[in-house]
Chains A and B, each alone.
Chain A
Amino acid sequence: MKEIVEHIARSLVDNPDAVKVIETETDDAIVLRLYTAPEDVGKVIGKQGRVAKSIRMVLKLATAPDGRKYTLEIE
């Protein structure tokens, strides 16, 4: 799912090369931390978080092989 978040983020920002996603794990979730160029942060969050919410909605469809869910954090 890391690739998908990267793909979506790259399609939305001005500096696609600066997009990076780092995967970390907790007991009940896989956390995807999304990094972008500072001036692009707003683009992946959106007005009232609408973009971030939409990305999370898409992530909700996915489950890791072991049943854990994905969560998205924007850094």
Chain B
Amino acid sequence: MRSAEKTAKTVREALDLALAELGIGLEDAEYEILEMPKSGIWGLGSKEARVRVTTEENAARVAIAFLEPVLAKLGAKATCAVEEKEDFFWISYVGENMGRVIGRRGETLNALQYLVNLAVGKNLTKKPRIILDVEGYRQSRTETLAALAKKVANKVKRTGRDVMLEPMSPYERRIIHMTLQEDAFVQTLSQGEEPARRVVITKKRY
């Protein structure tokens, strides 16, 4: 949470000064009038208005302030879209030169996402997760993983043998678990230690 206190001739002016200092709009702010202005006589006994504005930092804004300079320096010209979901923010970038920001199997993207979450966590009391996407990579990865999960599940049903998938990030493992949680014939569990933790798909035994 940040706050600013300003004085000016009118409440409105003081408010604008404080908002400008915090770099936010009125819709993101709460304010308190500490002192009402008094005009006095010929300037005698006059008092300026005093206002305190507070704001709960917005996670998406902190995230973008963190990411923008990094992407710019890497020569990426990108536009960004933010979606606020129940318990996380989905921030996606599309633009020139963005493909390489993904990295091999998304490792650079994951590194950036890790850093942005730390930066957000440090600056906010409430810490929503940030999921960072570039060029729709995570979206298509989600679909690929869901398809993989179903394919492997079928194989497990057919052969009765456990199958261990390659190491994945927690988010990617979650996609596998979610895809198969309703499946009546197989179950999933994670084994091993980060960052080599992997999902195992096994046949349910009754």
CB-CB < 8 A to B12: which residues of A? none
CB-CB < 8 A to B77: which residues of A? none
Stretch at the interface among A7-15, A17-25, A27-35: A7-15
Contact A8 B115 (CB under 8 A): yes
- Which one, A7, A8, A51, A57, contacts B108 given CB within 8 A? A57
Q: Which of B105-131 contact A (CB under 8 A)?
A: 107-108, 111-112, 114-115, 118-119, 122-123
- Tell me, yes or no, whether B189 is within 8 Å of chain A by CB: no
User: How long is the Cα–Cα vector from A50 to B113 in the complex, in angstroms?
Assistant: 12
User: How long is the Cα–Cα vector from A53 to B111 in the complex, in angstroms?
Assistant: 8
Closest chain B residue to A7 by CB distance?
A: B69
CB-CB < 8 A to B107: which residues of A? 57
Contact B69 A58 (CB under 8 A): no
Instruction: Please report the total number of B residues contacting A with Cβ < 8 Å.
Output: 18
- Tell me, yes or no, whether B74 is within 8 Å of chain A by CB: yes
Closest chain B residue to A1 by CB distance?
A: B73
Contact A11 B108 (CB under 8 A): no
CB-CB < 8 A to A58: which residues of B? 70, 74, 108, 111-112, 115
User: How long is the Cα–Cα vector from A17 to B88 in the complex, in angstroms?
Assistant: 30
- Tell me, yes or no, whether B103 is within 8 Å of chain A by CB: yes
Contacts A58-B111, A61-B108 given; does A51 touch B118 at CB 8 Å: yes
CB-CB < 8 A to B103: which residues of A? 57, 60-61
CB-CB < 8 A to A61: which residues of B? 74, 100-101, 103, 108
Q: Which of B46-75 contact A (CB under 8 A)?
A: 66, 69-70, 73-74
Contact B73 A4 (CB under 8 A): yes
Contact A50 B114 (CB under 8 A): yes
User: How long is the Cα–Cα vector from A51 to B123 in the complex, in angstroms?
Assistant: 17
Q: Which of A42-64 contact B (CB under 8 A)?
A: 50-51, 53-55, 57-58, 60-62
User: How long is the Cα–Cα vector from A1 to B69 in the complex, in angstroms?
Assistant: 11
Contact A3 B69 (CB under 8 A): yes
Given contacts A50-B114, A58-B111, 8 further A-B contacts (CB under 8 A): A3-B73, A8-B70, A8-B119, A11-B122, A12-B119, A51-B114, A57-B107, A58-B112
A residues neighboring B (CB under 8 Å): 1, 3-4, 7-8, 11-12, 50-51, 53-55, 57-58, 60-62
Task: Pick 6 A–B contacts, CB within 8 A, sort by A.
Answer: A3-B69, A11-B115, A54-B112, A58-B108, A58-B111, A60-B103
